Amino acid sequence: MTEETKQNAEKSLMDELGFNEAEIVRRRAFLELGDDDIQELVSIRKIAQEYADPVLEAFYKHLLSFDETRAFFQNPKLLEHVKQAQKAYFAGLTEGAYDKDYIEDRLKIGAIHERIGLPVKAYMGMYNFYLRNVANYLFEEYKNEPGKALRAYLSLLKVVFLDIGLAIDTYISRREQLIGKQREAMRELPTQEALSMRGGVVGYQLPPLHASHLEVTTGDLLIFATDGISSDFAMRLSPWDPMLRHQPVQEIADRILARFGKLTDDALVLVIRYLGSAP
């Protein structure tokens, strides 16, 4: 990916989720992620570098001990690549810059996990695992200053929740897009609707008349049939049948009569193709 295409992809992810500077400020304000937190986080940066490797080791020991999470890492090269990327990701938590670039990066990572079909429960479970491990290191490091450990940990939680919120928003946005696309595709599919049957004998016993309304759009096919045509004919006609889509209406009527006519009764088939309103 060229630098320009990469930037466009990231930009569109920010656009997709309606992200701008104001939204970033609002998210941070809602989490009460302020300058004090940034100071706390930057103050543990060195310790974070020290616990990075052992925490990641424990992280993978746990992740690889479950079939459903191990399945994502069949390729050892991918495992090595992701380990390195995660190390940089976790380091980012204590770097103190939770700005536009940071948000873009986090959205991109959310989108990657959504693309590979990582269940949210696996993502959340591993984040929880990570946080529990980090808590142990922090409280051990500051065992004589538990207040300091708690402050740093609570600040870390704010950034982590910022990240989790971004990842989940990416999941939701991508799923909504998918649902939208599926709806559009379904609208393109041919469907069948039936008007209710009316009993009676033509010219002798007229049943009470009821108006039925059916919306039609250009290309729709309307078929009326009397009881000399087998009553399940509409169910046995597939809306995908090329005959219904392409043949002249006279031929369709003839074929329905030939295929579904009862032979013991007279029958009428009326086929109308709606060509749209006149210009």
Contact positions vs ligand HEM (CB under 6 A) = 63, 69, 72, 78, 82, 85-86, 89, 109, 112-113, 116, 118, 122-123, 126-127, 130
Q: Which is nearer to ligand HEM, 25 or 88 (CB)?
A: 88
Task: Between 132 and 245, name the residue whose CB sits nearer to ligand HEM.
Answer: 132
Would you say 161 or 233 has its CB closer to ligand HEM? Answer: 161
**What is the closest distance, in whole angstroms, from the C-beta atom of residue 35 to ligand HEM in the complex?**
25
Give the nearer residue to ligand HEM in terms of CB position, either 102 or 123: 123
Supply the minimum distance, in Å, between the C-beta of residue 116 and ligand HEM.
Answer: 5
Least distance (Å) between residue 169 CB and ligand HEM:
15
Task: Tell me the closest approach of the beta carbon of residue 132 to ligand HEM, in angstroms.
Answer: 12
Toward ligand HEM, which CB reaches closer, 109 or 225?
109
Q: How far is the CB of 3 from ligand HEM (least distance, A)?
A: 15
Q: CB of 191: closest distance to ligand HEM in angstroms? A: 38
Query: In terms of CB distance, is 127 or 161 closer to ligand HEM?
Result: 127
Q: What is the DSSP string of the chain?
A: --HHHHHHHHHHHHHHTT--HHHHHHHHHHTT--HHHHHHHHHTHHHHHHHHHHHHHHHHHHHTTSHHHHGGG-SHHHHHHHHHHHHHHHHHTTSS--SHHHHHHHHHHHHHHHHTT--HHHHHHHHHHHHHHHHHHHHHHTTT-HHHHHHHHHHHHHHHHHHHHHHHHHHHHHHHHHHHHHHHHHHHS-----PPP---BTTTBPPPP--------TT-EEEEE-TTB-TTHHHHS-TT-HHHHHS-HHHHHHHHHHHHB-SSS---EEEEE------
